[in-house]
Structure 1
Amino acid sequence: MMDQEQSRHERAAHWCVIMQSGAPTAAEKKGFADWINENPLHLQEYRAVLSLWTEAADYGAALDPTSDVIRLYPAHKGVIAKDADGRGRRFYGFFMAMKGGRMAAAFAVIMLMALAFLSFPPLGGGVLVSQIADNLFGPAVEPFQTRKGESRTIALDDGSVIQLNTLSKLEVRFSPHERTIMMLEGEAYFDVAKDPQRPFVVRTDKASVQAVGTEFNVRLRPDDLAVTVVEGKVMLRQIKADDAKQTKAWETSLSRNEQAVLSRFDGGADNDPLIRRSDDVPLEKVVSWRQNKLIFEAARLGDVVADFNRYNTMEIILADEDLADLSISGVFDSRDPEAFSHTLEAFAPVEALVFGRSRILIKNIQDNI
């Protein structure tokens, strides 16, 4: 870990080596972007060191950028320049660190460094991480994740809002040309701010959903992907795998109250996805999770229990397999599995045994006879 007393130019050299000598990790990219945002002068420092790096590479074996940038910069006191506030600040050169013919090269490099510092005006405090990251190494990735029973509202820089359901995971990657969300797991509701110049695209490993200004829900499960439009219009497109060159590309548009469920595997020889469309979806049921509600209409008890267990650490267990096929209808609080179990006792021949705050065992009443 770098010493906290190290100066900005040493940190700039440190980050230059990390960002230029290999593939930086996501954590390193975030750390670099955070450092850039700490002070408007940091970007100037980095650009100057990057210029040095480029120049050093041109001198061949006499100066190896990867190993020598930090060692030679800074080395000794050199030129004095001015900060944005007018105070003096020293540039450091190679003059005492290099011998013979390398002195001329070092002098040229240090002058380029000074010009780089003086040529880039100080940036305001509102430097966007996405702009810096996109210019230097591509759009920054912001990961978001929820635990069991947790939901989270995410306000994005463009004015869009994401509500992330329980046990869900996604990544946000904004660039000047596209607003990209990589959906990795779970469910999310998207309220998209209009920006025709930058499409808003939600991607999974099998399909992408593109919108401009709209509201829609995406649920990603191991066996399918469900996209439901609440307002506006989206375009659902297939993403072809690299090893599936014969797979035919497809796309379908969805409008308000429409839903498409894409099955990952249909067993077909051509590996085309199986798509089920619905043109009149009960939206209140699909997005009821946003109000901590679960709505069921003639649903299997086994599926109802699975839904409750997604939201709660207090697990519901069916003691008898035949209970899984009981038909359940109603509106329930997703955070209260105990209340659901007692309601179930009133309408079905079952008994709910509650074990502290850890589990609820549902069993046939006949088992007590």
Structure 2
Amino acid sequence: MSAGDDAIEAAALWCVQLSEGELGEQEWRRFEAWLETPGHAGLFQDAAAVWQASGAVGDWPEVIALRTRALNRFGNAKQRRWPVASPGRLKWATGYAAALLLVVTVTLFWYGNRPRQYETGIGERQVAVLADGSHVSLDAVTAMKVRMKDEGRQVELVEGRAKFDVAKDPLRPFTVAAGDKLIVAVGTSFSVELIGGQVRVVLYEGQVEVRDRADTARVAGAAARRLVMRPGSELVGAVGSSEPAQLTRPDLSQSLSWEQGLVNFEGEPLASAVERMNRYSAKRIRIADPALGAIRVDGVYRAGDLDAFVEGITALHPVRQNTLGEEIILQGK
């Protein structure tokens, strides 16, 4: 069984366990840790949707055939192991069989509704038009997955940065999962970036709600942290941190400079500035001393012009460079 199949099975088993009653605190921690793995939240949502709509698909010939084969295999195996079934074993077997059927159905749904993937390489930018008419501008070294469904439009930002101009459709919310955050919109314009262990969301038009992804799976009434953003604001939150995300008021025109091939820094930590510059060039910058990563840098540079960036940094800060092949190493003076 592949890693993808294992994840599908785990999503189905979590769905079955949640349907049988509330989880204990330790089980919740395990469930939330599992959800934090990229891709797992989407698989769990699929499993939950299949569980709720299982009556609608139960008559599919493919499902009936898979279900019959699964039950036959399960029954034969358990008959060899337990010739005489006790009530406890029967209860366990019934629950396991239900989970197994859900795994089979989820697998069928998943392979029939696999997300569409978008990727850009070093120095590459791309504009994509989604099936609903929404426009997405992808920065360099960016990857995302898109699922278009009747009940909603789901995007997972795996790495990098993307700007979304969302087509209005009040009946189909547009969500972007990034790190441990879920951004929910209807028709609006915003960007999402994963950088330096942070999730950054800039809102240009409309309104979005930012949630913790784990809260979307909790039972009703559980404590939730949700924040409504207004146009002209930026949210910055550390992935996996219990500290609340911070809201600032950035220069919106500068925040969009990357779409014109420019990289703009205003009080940016050197570590994240280097990470951004490395998106645009095969030549790499590496910071030898982690303490240098906290230096705040300013300036506007052409994407891919690492030499000009390094020249500016070494001229204004106690930093020197050492070139080794295709790598520029920054060290303290």
5 Å matches for 1:1-369?
A: 139-204=113-178, 206-221=180-195, 223-240=197-214, 248-266=223-241, 274-278=244-248, 280-318=249-287, 324=293, 326-344=295-313, 346-347=315-316, 352=321, 354=323, 358-362=326-330
Offset of residue 148 of structure 1: 2.9
Greater Rg over alpha carbons, structure: 1
2:179 touches 2:194 (CA, 8 Å); kept in 1? no
Is the alpha carbon distance of 1:226 and 1:174 closer, same or farther for their aligned partners in structure 2, counting shifts above 3 Å?
same
2:163 touches 2:192 (CA, 8 Å); kept in 1? yes
- Matched to 1:194, the amino acid is K
- Matched to 2:232, the amino acid is N
String of CA shifts for 1:22-53, please: whole Å, max 9, x gaps: x9xxxxxxxxxxxxxxxxxxxxxxxxxx76x6
String of CA shifts for 1:44-86, please: whole Å, max 9, x gaps: xxxxxx76x689899x99xx9xxxxxxxxxxxxxxxxxxxxxx
Identical-pair percentage? 28
2:173 touches 2:184 (CA, 8 Å); kept in 1? yes
The separation in 2 between residues aligned to 1:232 and 1:238, in whole angstroms, is 20
1:239 touches 1:249 (CA, 8 Å); kept in 2? no
The separation in 1 between residues aligned to 2:164 and 2:170, in whole angstroms, is 16
1:169 touches 1:184 (CA, 8 Å); kept in 2? yes
Is the alpha carbon distance of 1:141 and 1:328 closer, same or farther for their aligned partners in structure 2, counting shifts above 3 Å?
closer
> Number of residues paired by the alignment?
239
TM-score of the aligned structures, taking structure 1 as reference length: 0.54
Is the alpha carbon distance of 1:337 and 1:154 closer, same or farther for their aligned partners in structure 2, counting shifts above 3 Å?
same
1:147 touches 1:167 (CA, 8 Å); kept in 2? yes
String of CA shifts for 1:120-152, please: whole Å, max 9, x gaps: xxxxxxxxxxxxxx9997644101222233222
2:180 touches 2:240 (CA, 8 Å); kept in 1? no
2:196 touches 2:271 (CA, 8 Å); kept in 1? no
2:232 touches 2:252 (CA, 8 Å); kept in 1? yes
The separation in 1 between residues aligned to 2:284 and 2:321, in whole angstroms, is 12
Greater relative CO (CA pairs within 8 A, separation 6+): 2
- Matched to 2:141, the amino acid is L
Structure 2: runs of 5+ lacking an equivalent: 1-11, 13-59, 73-107
1:265 touches 1:274 (CA, 8 Å); kept in 2? no
The separation in 2 between residues aligned to 1:244 and 1:136, in whole angstroms, is 23
- Matched to 2:279, the amino acid is R
Equivalence for 1:39: none
- Matched to 1:254, the amino acid is M
Offset of residue 321 of structure 1: 6.5
RMSD over aligned Cα, in angstroms?
A: 3.9
Offset of residue 362 of structure 1: 4.6
Offset of residue 217 of structure 1: 0.7
The separation in 2 between residues aligned to 1:242 and 1:233, in whole angstroms, is 19
Offset of residue 361 of structure 1: 4.0
- For the residue of structure 1 that corresponds to 2:254, the secondary structure is helix
Offset of residue 238 of structure 1: 2.4
- For the residue of structure 1 that corresponds to 2:170, the secondary structure is coil
Is the alpha carbon distance of 1:344 and 1:287 closer, same or farther for their aligned partners in structure 2, counting shifts above 3 Å?
same
1:217 touches 1:287 (CA, 8 Å); kept in 2? no
String of CA shifts for 1:158-186, please: whole Å, max 9, x gaps: 11111122222211100122111122222
Is the alpha carbon distance of 1:57 and 1:175 closer, same or farther for their aligned partners in structure 2, counting shifts above 3 Å?
closer
Offset of residue 257 of structure 1: 0.5
- Matched to 1:336, the amino acid is D
Is the alpha carbon distance of 1:140 and 1:348 closer, same or farther for their aligned partners in structure 2, counting shifts above 3 Å?
closer
TM-score of the aligned structures, taking structure 2 as reference length: 0.59
Offset of residue 191 of structure 1: 0.8
